[in-house]
Amino acid sequence: MDNNTTPNQNGDNHHKKQKNKPNLGLFLFLVISSFIIMNYFMKSSDDGKSKEITYDAFIDMLEEDKVDKVEDTGLTWKITPKTQPLEEVEFTYYTGKMNDDALLPMLREKDVEIQPYIQDTIGTLIWEIVWSLLPFILIFTVFSFMMRKMGGGGVMGVGKSKAKVYIEKETGVTFKDVAGEEEAKESLVEIVDFLHNPQKYVEIGAKLPKGALLVGPPGTGKTLLAKAVAGEAHVPFFSLAGSDFVEMFVGVGASRVRDLFEEAKRHAPCIVFIDEIDAIGKSRDSRMGGNDEREQTLNQLLAEMDGFENNQACIVLAATNRPEVLDQALLRPGRFDRRIIVERPDLKGREDILKVHAKRVKLDETVKLDEIALATSGAVGADLANMINEAAILAVKHGRAAICQKDLFDAMEVVLMGKEKKNKILSTEERKIVSYHEVGHALATALQKDSEPVQKITIVPRTSGALGYVLQTPEEEKNLMSKKEIEARLVTCMGGRAAEELVFETVTTGAAQDIQQATRLARAMVTQYGMSEKFGLMGLESRESMYLDNGTVLNCSDETAASVDAEIMRILKESYEKAKKLLEENRDCLDQIAEFLIEKETITGKEFMEIFHRIKSEDGEYHQEELIFAE
């Protein structure tokens, strides 16, 4: 035991001696530099108004009656001549003192003003000392202020940790406040149990996990889960962000890591939570040039995580949405033993999240949270919390005492599409174009079996930049998409542009977002999903940042990339031709629904399908199979 602890103690003492060296050195450098600069300016200012002369020259000036005043400074005679140069500052000479009995009679003979030397009092001496030390005091004060602004707590505290400490239930969050992430909660419940009852795990031979990494898209509740651990664990909980370690001075981040873990060991058992750990945990890559401060901080973090003893119940939690950039040494077992995936919630998860946030507000009997959950596929917990809050604001705005279902759907549109721009007035021609464009999307959807039903059509502009949109709601939650469903979605995307060309014999810029969405989908079919006849099952792209922008990188030659572009162009062209053909065959539906939309500005999916049923029935073209699908 002694052999194991002595090196660590020596290492800690060595770190304590070393960690303030960069700060003390910088301070001494500032002091010396300031002294040299001040001395230089003082000498420069004296060079122009005072000059040293010999004692003989001083006697010659007296004999020639050129001296106006003589001052005894203690060690020298300060001589003021009668004739001054044409300058604003008085010009003087000075010379050393000698034991000359004839000097005083000569001064009296020439009628020279004599100012004797007066010994300084204690107060004067103190004032001179303070005045000489004042520049250094000012420098020290400014430097200390800079360190405090950086969060270091003064000159010698620049390396102190800035972690916020929560003890027991100070966070106000428990696992009951977290919904939709049952698998992540289960892993964290085990960690809390480790902290509460470590002995039963030690008895069976299990080692306590040293760390857990929370990984997932932004807004899924990683930080909320960490706060819930603090609320459940009843142990000290140190919380800080990865950026809190990094400062402008090299070595400060490593010093803060040391201080944080020393504090954590003193409070064991405890939890250390580092949010956005990718700020200090990026892979150490010397090819593109390194960052000395960040790499030193990472190296210190790795060393500190290895320094935990098996019987020390100190667990490190970290969160990131960029796991692909983290250093492999940080991810290995023994440091972060568990990777907890915090994914986007499924249908049941979204409904549970809505129920948690709905406890804070008043709901009326019309509210059906399952319908909202179904309509918000892909939304994360932060989006759903925002929807509940926006719904409450809308209810107050309309004078209601409780939130209704319409408030929730309107809030969903506000979060996803932005607010209505009531001051943006479209011309008659533009309203007509936008109306046909949106009905083209809706009609292309209704005429295909593998598409999602229409919930709403509107031509009211939104703050997101959309002049109108079609809201589609899936009939059930899906985790997979078939090739037919993707092809149906491509045709729906092209329906707006096809309607514009069919009716107005021209096209506008309104289909820009539709084209981008269709291009991304077609590219994924070719490069990722293996749905192209030309390339088959060949994977041509790989994901780069799956939790942020979902970016991809091509893994093929330039010639293959050109062939990929040609294949994407073919798919999009076929989708456009199919959309155009569907709308040509149903031109009456297109015209009548568009006219109704121009008049109403917003119509529901039910109104849209009623008009669609009526027109198809009048034409006698509605087969029983189509009728069942449309309903």
User: What are the backbone angles phi and psi of residue 459, rounded to the nearest 5°?
Assistant: -120, 25
C-alpha closest to that of 308 among 274, 260, 341: 260
Peptide bond into 218 cis (omega under 30): no
Ramachandran quadrant class, 221 (left: phi over 0; alpha: psi -120 to 50; beta: rest): left
> Over 158-174, what HEC string results?
CCCCCCEEECCCCCCCC
Single-letter amino acid code for the residue at 305: M
Question: Which tokens sit at 119?
Answer: 């010994």
User: Any bridge partners for residue 67, and if so which?
Assistant: 81
- Output the CA torsion sign for 582, 583, 589, 590: positive
DSSP codes, 425-466: PPPHHHHHHHHHHHHHHHHHHHT-TTSPPEEEEE---BTTS-
Q: For residues 608 and 600, what is the distance between their CA atoms, to the nearest angstrom? A: 12
Q: Are 398 and 473 in contact (CB under 8 A)?
A: no
Q: Which residue is listed with tokens 């790989």?
A: 542
User: What are the backbone angles phi and psi of residue 240, rounded to the nearest 5°?
Assistant: -160, 165
Please, what is the end-to-end C-alpha distance for the chain in angstroms?
Answer: 77
Q: Are 257 and 245 in contact (CB under 8 A)?
A: yes
DSSP codes, 260-298: HHHHHHHT-SEEEEEESTHHHHB---STT---HHHHHHH
438 is known as an active-site residue: yes
Q: For residues 88 and 332, what is the distance between their CA atoms, to the nearest angstrom? A: 76
Neighbours of 609 (CB within 10 A): 16
Task: Kindly report the length of the chain.
Answer: 631
Catalytic, out of 304, 438, 452, 567: 438
The 8-class DSSP code of residue 324 comes to G
Largest CA distance in the chain: 139
C-alpha closest to that of 387 among 366, 357, 426, 365: 357
The 8-class DSSP code of residue 282 comes to B
Q: Which residues are catalytic?
A: 438
